[in-house]
């Protein structure tokens, strides 16, 4: 039978939105506030601008080398060794980011909802769910993302509606927070906020048509940046500039703050349900993508059999940091800063090599 289970724009949109827009609900916001205070809400926009030329260059290359995904395209351009080095760099930074992100989510769950449970148990549950979901394959991940995305949107709309009374727009001033230079510099350094867009190009060929992929990425990116800025704006205008620095988990603080009428006052669990589901899917996608990158780097056919070792090592990485502060403010901050130049430079490198080889003129 002609294939009936193909991925389309909707799935790509859902995958990318879950990968990036869920950043609004984790500790990324508090990471930004350390350097920029209440100006952090438009930092993602600066980061996007920084990363955009490289992203378009990468897309341009993928379009030129038809029917090849990220790693295959790199191999054609750079040859065996060059592509392996850059591919490994991409893989390792993504792997570490996932591990640290994992620890960040686990400690959020632990601190906010299960203070007495050992962190390793939560990490293990997280790992089990993510591993078994990822095992179902890329297409299923896409379908489920698409089915569940409306529910996530609904919950964030409810949250926005409930908090809207407490927003004081004047709190965006001083507009440049700690100073224009600091804000710009922070935005530039955190270009890796959109790391997932680069990673997801590994799935370039898995769609019915590659135009679906491109369309999905562009719409997903637009949507994600809107969602990020909306939520960051809400944090900035709800908490104001002095207290925002001290918020570790602004999203959860928000959900604990809001209430429905005077009878139901603690509704954070309602939002936590959707947040946990979204985090599960987010890490499922992440695990699958980095395993995919690893597998295609070394030409391993069965991605599913690599999920367990890679997922397990990730679990180990995630329990290394001693505490959430170290993890967030030292390791993750540094890693995000170091990956940005990699992301900005490698598409340029690819483009220059491809240009020198004359591949781009033929078509």
Residues near other proteins, by CB under 8 A: 1-2, 4-8, 10-11, 109, 113-114, 117, 121-122, 125, 128-129, 132-133, 136-137, 139-144, 146-148, 263-270, 272-273, 276-277, 280-281
What is the smallest separation between the CB atom of 211 and other proteins, expressed in angstroms?
15
Minimum CB separation from other proteins for residue 140, in Å? 4
Closer Cβ to other proteins, 128 or 157, answer by number = 128
- Give how far the C-alpha of residue 99 lies from the chain's centroid of Cα atoms, to the nearest Å: 13
Q: Is 113 helix (H, G, I), strand (E, B) or coil?
A: coil
Residue 239: which of 252, 221, 227 has the closest Cα?
252
> Which CB, 96 or 124, lies closer to other proteins?
124
* Cα–Cα dist 124/148, whole Å: 23
* Residues 94, 159: Cα–Cα separation, whole Å: 31
Smallest distance from other proteins to CB 212, Å: 11
Nearer to other proteins, 213 or 351 (CB): 213
| C-beta of 125 vs 160, nearer to other proteins | 125
Residue with smaller CB distance to other proteins, 10 or 179: 10
Q: Which is nearer to other proteins, 292 or 346 (CB)?
A: 292
210 or 337: CB nearest other proteins = 210
**Contact between residue 50 and residue 188 where contact means Cβ atoms under 8 Å apart:** yes
Q: Do 220 and 15 touch, CB atoms closer than 8 A?
A: yes
CB 128, min distance to other proteins, A: 7
**CB of residue 210 vs other proteins: minimum separation in angstroms?**
17
Nearest to 308 by CA among 135, 101, 94, 96: 135
Shortest Å distance, C-beta 265 to other proteins: 7
DSSP symbols for 154-203: HHHHHHHHHHGGG--GGGG-STTTT-HHHHHHHHHHGGGGGHHHHHGGGG
Q: Which is nearer to other proteins, 32 or 131 (CB)?
A: 131
> 336: which 2 tokens?
């995000």
DSSP characters over 16-74 = HHHHHHGGGGSTHHHHHHHHHGGGGGGHHHHHHHHHHHHHHHHHHHHHHSTT--HHHHH
C-alpha 289: how far from its chain's center? 12
| Shortest CB 301 distance to other proteins, Å | 20
Task: Give the nearer residue to other proteins in terms of CB position, either 273 or 325.
Answer: 273
Shortest distance, CB of residue 134 to other proteins, whole angstroms? 9
In the block, tokens 């686990």 appear at 106
Sequence-distant (≥ 6) Cβ neighbours of residue 22 within 8 angstroms? 152, 275, 278, 279, 282
Compute the least distance from the CB of residue 62 to other proteins, in Å: 23
Assess contact for 206 and 7: CB atoms under 8 A: yes
- Cα 100–Cα 88–Cα 332 angle in degrees, nearest 5: 20
Residue with tokens 């997280």: 126
């Amino acid at each position: 039978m002609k294939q009936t289970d193909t991925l389309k724009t909707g799935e790509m949109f859902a995958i990318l939105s879950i990968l990036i827009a869920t950043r609004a609900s984790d500790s990324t916001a508090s990471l930004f506030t350390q350097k920029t205070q209440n100006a952090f809400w438009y930092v993602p926009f600066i980061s996007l601008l920084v990363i955009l030329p490289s992203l378009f260059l990468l897309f341009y290359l993928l379009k030129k080398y038809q029917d090849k995904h990220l790693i295959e395209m790199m191999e054609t351009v750079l040859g065996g060794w060059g592509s392996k080095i850059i591919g490994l760099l991409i893989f390792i930074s993504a792997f570490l980011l996932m591990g640290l992100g994992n620890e960040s989510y686990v400690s959020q769950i632990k601190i906010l909802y299960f203070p007495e449970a050992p962190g390793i148990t939560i990490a293990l549950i997280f790992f089990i769910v993510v591993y078994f979901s990822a095992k179902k394959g890329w297409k299923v991940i896409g379908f489920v993302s698409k089915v569940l995305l409306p529910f996530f949107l609904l919950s964030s709309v409810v949250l926005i509606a409930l908090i809207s009374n407490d927003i004081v727009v004047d709190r965006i001033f001083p507009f440049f927070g700690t100073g224009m230079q600091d804000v710009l510099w922070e935005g530039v350094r955190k270009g890796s906020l959109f790391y997932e867009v680069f990673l997801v190009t590994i799935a370039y060929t898995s769609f019915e048509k590659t135009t679906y992929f491109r369309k999905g990425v562009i719409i997903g990116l637009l949507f994600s940046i809107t969602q990020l800025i909306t939520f960051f704006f809400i944090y900035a205008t709800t908490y104001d500039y002095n207290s925002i620095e001290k918020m570790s988990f602004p999203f959860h603080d928000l959900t604990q703050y809001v209430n429905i009428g005077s009878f139901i006052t603690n509704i954070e669990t309602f939002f936590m349900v959707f947040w946990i589901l979204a985090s599960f899917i987010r890490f499922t996608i992440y695990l699958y993508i980095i395993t995919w990158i690893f597998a295609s780097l070394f030409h391993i056919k069965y991605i599913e059999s690599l999920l367990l070792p890679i997922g397990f090592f990730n679990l180990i990485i995630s329990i290394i940091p001693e505490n959430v502060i170290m993890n967030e403010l030292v390791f993750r901050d540094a890693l995000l800063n170091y990956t940005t130049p990699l992301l900005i430079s490698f598409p340029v490198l690819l483009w220059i090599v491809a240009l020198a080889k004359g591949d781009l003129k033929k078509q």
